[in-house]
């Protein structure tokens, strides 16, 4: 399927590794110029270098999303260097597990700032340019199957991801008249560094071998498969392309059947 994005200009947050890195590479492979966001420009270098080595175009933009004051400037730098913007992927996220009883306020604030407030601010500081350009666009959010479920000890993360879906739906309604499509992708367990780190904690808490806990959890889906980041990236590229031109306001699972609603 031809999903060329030649001439499109994209910003991907949290693109130093994992799903964000795969999305940035996927967009660039289809012809988009990509502003690769990470906490610092140095952290984005691996993704930028990989895109350039494959013949694509990319550059780094840095901002600590735990510091809301850094976000407007990051968006402005990205738009300036891109010469406009057509695709925004709000992917950056953190996951901290704790019961509400044991959770301190700083943990809750960290998860909400990165997972929910940052997408709000990135949207606020990129959508006006899309509107002014009058050529439509695509804004994407990384939610999660956790954004459709309830899980003990995951309250901060799940709440933030439920919020992402709600915010996405509101933005789809708000921006649709400008031909800007807004959607969310909901990954299940995906083979990322974050998944590794979470399963180290889960295995430790259960006093079980990491390999056993990881394999059982990661394959707890209908296909019994471990999902590579490219499978997630393919959905973002599809939604950003003209093939997704009639899709907006949707939260789409890419989870091998872990979640079916």
pLDDT at 2: 63
pLDDT at 160: 98
What CATH superfamily classification does 9-188+228-246 receive?
A: NAD(P)-binding Rossmann-like Domain (3.40.50.720)
Provide the whole-model pTM.
Answer: 0.97
For the chain, give every domain's residue range: 9-188+228-246, 189-226
pLDDT at 186: 98
pLDDT at 171: 99
Please list the residues that pair with 175 across neighbouring strands. none
Assess whether 260 carries a catalytic annotation.
no
Task: Identify the active-site residue in 141, 157, 214, 236.
Answer: 157
Assign 3-class secondary structure to 82-116. HCCCCEEEECCCCCCCCCCCCCCHHHHHHHHHHHH
pLDDT at 3: 63
| Blockwise average pLDDT, block size 10, the chain, 261 residues | 85 98 98 98 98 98 98 98 98 96 97 98 98 98 98 97 98 98 98 96 95 96 98 98 98 98 95
């Amino acid at each position: 399927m031809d999903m060329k994005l030649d001439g499109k200009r994209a910003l991907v947050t949290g693109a130093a590794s994992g799903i964000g890195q795969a999305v940035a590479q996927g967009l660039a492979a289809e012809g988009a110029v990509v502003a690769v966001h990470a906490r610092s420009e140095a952290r984005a270098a691996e993704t930028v270098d990989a895109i350039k080595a494959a013949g694509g175009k990319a550059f780094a933009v840095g901002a600590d999303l735990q510091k809301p004051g850094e976000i407007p400037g990051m968006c402005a730098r990205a738009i300036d260097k891109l010469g406009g913007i057509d695709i925004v992927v709000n992917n950056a996220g953190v996951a901290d597990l704790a019961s509400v009883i044991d959770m301190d306020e700083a943990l809750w604030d960290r998860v909400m700032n990165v997972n929910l407030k940052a997408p709000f601010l990135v949207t606020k500081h990129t959508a006006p340019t899309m509107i002014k350009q009058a050529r439509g666009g695509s804004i994407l959010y990384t939610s999660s199957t956790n954004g459709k479920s309830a899980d003990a000890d995951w309250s901060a993360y799940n709440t933030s991801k439920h919020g992402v879906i709600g915010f996405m739906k509101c933005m789809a309604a708000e921006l649709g008249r400008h031909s800007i499509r807004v959607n969310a992708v909901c990954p299940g367990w995906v083979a990322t560094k974050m998944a590794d780190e979470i399963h180290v904690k889960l295995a430790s808490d259960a006093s079980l071998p990491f390999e056993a806990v990881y394999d059982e959890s990661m394959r707890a889906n209908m296909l019994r498969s471990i999902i590579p980041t490219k499978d997630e990236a393919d959905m973002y590229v599809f939604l950003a392309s003209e093939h997704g031109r009639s899709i907006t306001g949707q939260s789409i699972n890419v989870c091998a059947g872990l979640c079916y609603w």
